[in-house]
Amino acid sequence: MDYSVKNLVINNCGISYIDEGPENGKIILFVHGFPFNKFMWKRQVEVLKATCRVIAYDVRGHGNSGAGSEEFSIDLFVRDLIGLMDALSIEKVCLCGLSMGGYIALNAAVNHPGRFSSLVLCDTTCVADSPEGKEKRMKAIENIETNGVETYAVESIRKLFSPDSLSERRDDVAVIKEMIMNTSTVVLGKTLRALAGREETCGRLKEIDAPVLVMAGEEDTITPPSAAMQIHEQIKGSSLHIVEKAGHISNMENPISFNHRLMQFVLETISH
Ligand code: MLT
């Protein structure tokens, strides 16, 4: 499947994206997790593009986007997201983010409420890193610098996928491993620092009044279903879907369950 990959300079950084489906349709914009890229959404883009305009972009430093010269932060990633929407003259989208993409989506939703008609928050959390969590990120940076990106990729995929996915979805595992290995040591370090420095958004979830779907892989050990439940309980009227037979990358590990619920949500909220 071929996509026409496009590029725009946003906040002095080249941002790579795909833009598929009918120009005048409802727009769904996807934000990937760390350290992946826009093609992690391939199975969602394929299904949704018949109904919606579907945009997926590479967060700076990832995939084919540039890295720019600034230190990374979730705030900067949100400025890029809003900058991309502005550059494309898009006022409002349904925003769907997984994990780091969810941190970006939550931050964007509370700080730019008028720009999002609905939200899909996947395998993510509103909680900031604990001191131990931050420490682990600093250790990961040291390990990447000492042992290289491949070792980091091998260790990461064991935690990202459920045990069954690791043995049964080898192609997906290989795709994710390659995405990690194509991310530079510098970008891994800069993004790990940004993730460690992010602020919690739990205290602001009550401000969100757009329709929200929260999803999590039932075997996600990085941001477990309890984290999804916490978000769901704080956002009035939100829906929760636990993706069976999936770990942290629920959209790839069980695309049938994920897409079915996503499509239902998109159709339910199409007029927003
Ligand atoms: C992700 O998938 O984006 C990461 O697991 C997020 C994180 O490390 O907090």
Q: How far is the CA of 164 from the centre of ligand 1 (A)?
A: 20
Give the atom of ligand 1 at the shortest distance from the alpha carbon of 125. 9
Contacts of 58 (CB under 8 A, 6+ apart): 15, 16, 17, 32, 37, 38, 64, 65
What is the number of residues in the chain? Answer: 272
pTM of this prediction? 0.98
Between helix 131-147 and helix 185-196 the angle, nearest 10°, is 170
Q: How far is the CA of 236 from the centre of ligand 1 (A)?
A: 25
| Pairwise CA distance, residues 184 & 190, whole Å | 10
Residue 121, amino acid: L
The verdict on the CB of residue 99 being under 6 Å from ligand 1 is yes
What is the Cα Rg of the chain in Å? 17
Q: How far is the CA of 22 from the centre of ligand 1 (A)?
A: 31
pLDDT value of residue 87: 98
Query: In the structure encoding, which two tokens stand for residue 78, read together?
Result: 């949100």
Pocket test for ligand 1, best of 34, 74, 159 (most atoms within 8 A of CB): 34
pLDDT value of residue 271: 66
The verdict on the CB of residue 100 being under 6 Å from ligand 1 is yes
- Residue 119: φ, ψ to 5°: -135, 145
Query: In the structure encoding, which two tokens stand for residue 89, read together?
Result: 């003259």
Q: How far is the CA of 148 from the centre of ligand 1 (A)?
A: 19
The verdict on the CB of residue 195 being under 6 Å from ligand 1 is yes
Give the atom of ligand 1 at the shortest distance from the alpha carbon of 248. 2
The verdict on the CB of residue 97 being under 6 Å from ligand 1 is no
Q: How far is the CA of 34 from the centre of ligand 1 (A)?
A: 5
pLDDT value of residue 183: 98
Bridge-based pairing state of the strands 27-31 and 5-10? unpaired
SS3 content of the chain, % helix, strand, coil (to 5): 50, 20, 35
Element (H, E) at 16: strand 13-20
Q: DSSP letter for 94, please.
A: E
Give the atom of ligand 1 at the shortest distance from the alpha carbon of 137. 8
> Which residues, listed in sequence order, are joined to residue 118 by a DSSP beta bridge?
94
> Which residues, listed in sequence order, are joined to residue 15 by a DSSP beta bridge?
8
Give the atom of ligand 1 at the shortest distance from the alpha carbon of 100. 3
| Pairwise CA distance, residues 52 & 132, whole Å | 41
The verdict on the CB of residue 34 being under 6 Å from ligand 1 is yes
**44 conformational bin, left if phi > 0, alpha if psi -120 to 50, beta if neither:** alpha
Along the 272 residues of the chain, how does pLDDT read in single tens digits? 589 999 999 999 999 999 999 999 899 999 999 999 999 999 999 999 999 999 999 999 999 999 999 999 999 999 999 999 999 999 999 999 999 999 999 999 999 999 999 999 999 999 999 999 999 999 999 999 999 999 999 999 999 999 999 999 999 999 999 999 999 999 999 999 999 999 999 999 999 999 999 999 999 999 999 999 999 999 999 999 999 999 999 999 999 999 999 999 999 997 65
The verdict on the CB of residue 194 being under 6 Å from ligand 1 is no
| Pairwise CA distance, residues 154 & 171, whole Å | 14
- Residue 188: φ, ψ to 5°: -60, -45
For ligand 1, atom 4, which residue shows the shortest CA distance? 34
Please tell me whether residue 9 adopts helix, strand or coil conformation. strand
Q: How far is the CA of 127 from the centre of ligand 1 (A)?
A: 12
